[in-house]
Amino acid sequence: MPYNLIDGKAIANQIKTEIAGEVAEIIAKGGKRPHLAVIIVGHDGGSEAYVAHKAKSCEQVGFRSTTIAFEDTVGESELLKEIDSLNNNADVDGFIVQLPLPKHISEQKIIEAIDYRKDVDGFHPINVGKMSIGLPSYVSATPAGILELLKRYDIATAGKNCVVIGRSNIVGKPVAMLLMQKAYPGDATVTICHSRTKNLKEICREADIIIAALGRPEFLTADMVKEGAVVIDVGTTRVPSEQTKSGFRLCGDVKFDEVAPKCSYITPVPGGVGPMTIVSLLRNTLLAAKKEIYPT
């Protein structure tokens, strides 16, 4: 079957142009430049690359951005102090703490310290809760990016069997919630699979749409995929490679070469969901600057 490649990078660029236009309008009217702050802890290669992308993308659309970097020896209380300062900094519209954090710091405690009105990652329980019941909220960036791709490619979701592999708080759970909501994209029949699921292969073979978000390189193979399925690959694992200058390559959760020929649509890695994660963060930051979700 000739498959359609979902070009996340192209869609992301299109959305950046849309956002840049809105920023220009705000500035022309004498408004404040949207401002995103990002806290990064330690030197995880993936995190450093993603945070650099976020800063560069802010610049491209005309946002101000501030990156605050800590060594991985930073104490939890020092981090909480920085969060408190950002919560109270009127120039900062939204901020995030890039995950993962070192083991001696409680991610949950950090997330809950962020003022939910500035939580442009949509990780705070208030935003997660509101999203779950369909109220206006900051929706976390990767799930929002996935839905945007389905929308821009006009992929039908109502009544479709949608299988999500992975149950993380930042992707699996929220994307499942969004796909079952009474909306488009949404109205799907959603099944969430994880490491304890029995008959995973059989369940996947029934899927019209598969979201692979478990973080295991090339986990989804051709024998798990129905002819004509839509496959969204959320994995971005760095695996060692002798072919690249950096010494690694980015590997998705889907064995692309054998799965793609069976698909109607499929996302590549890189260039699929990753760039959409970044523009969804920009979109949330713009919403924060405009105080659209939380007016006060």
Does 126 sit near ligand L34 (CB under 6 A)? no
Output the DSSP codes for the chain: -PPEE--HHHHHHHHHHHHHHHHHHHHHTT-PPPEEEEEEES--HHHHHHHHHHHHHHHHHT-EEEEEEE-TT--HHHHHHHHHHHHT-TT--EEEE-S---TTS-HHHHHHHS-GGGBTT--SHHHHHHHHTT-S-PPPHHHHHHHHHHHHTT---TT-EEEEE---TTTHHHHHHHHHSSSSS---EEEEE-TT-SSHHHHHHT-SEEEE-S--TT-B-GGGS-TTEEEEE---EEEE-SSSTTSEEEE-SB-HHHHGGGEEEE--SSSSHHHHHHHHHHHHHHHHHTT-S---
Q: Catalytic residue among 7, 44, 93, 121, which?
A: 121
Least separation in angstroms between residue 7's CB and ligand L34 is 11
Residue at shortest CB range from ligand L34: 274
For the question of residue 54 being annotated catalytic, the response is yes
Nearer to ligand L34, 192 or 278 (CB): 278
Nearer to ligand L34, 261 or 270 (CB): 270
Query: Tokens representing 236?
Result: 């971005």
Q: Catalytic residue among 16, 54, 118, 130, which?
A: 54
Q: Catalytic residue among 98, 119, 130, 255, which?
A: 98
Least separation in angstroms between residue 105's CB and ligand L34 is 13
Q: Which listed residue (20, 49, 68, 80) binds ligand L34 by CB under 6 A? A: 49
Does 215 sit near ligand L34 (CB under 6 A)? no
Q: Which listed residue (94, 143, 145, 275) binds ligand L34 by CB under 6 A? A: 275
For the question of residue 44 being annotated catalytic, the response is no
Nearer to ligand L34, 17 or 244 (CB): 244
Does 97 sit near ligand L34 (CB under 6 A)? yes
Site string for ligand L34, 228-257 (x = CB under 6 A): --------x-------------x-------
Does 174 sit near ligand L34 (CB under 6 A)? no
Least separation in angstroms between residue 250's CB and ligand L34 is 5
Bridge partners, 239 (sequence order): 249
For the question of residue 245 being annotated catalytic, the response is no
Does 42 sit near ligand L34 (CB under 6 A)? no
Does 99 sit near ligand L34 (CB under 6 A)? yes
Q: What does the binding site for ligand L34 look like in residue numbers (CB under 6 A)?
A: 49-50, 53, 96-99, 121, 141, 236, 250, 269-271, 274-275, 277-278
Catalytic sites, residue numbers: 54, 98, 121
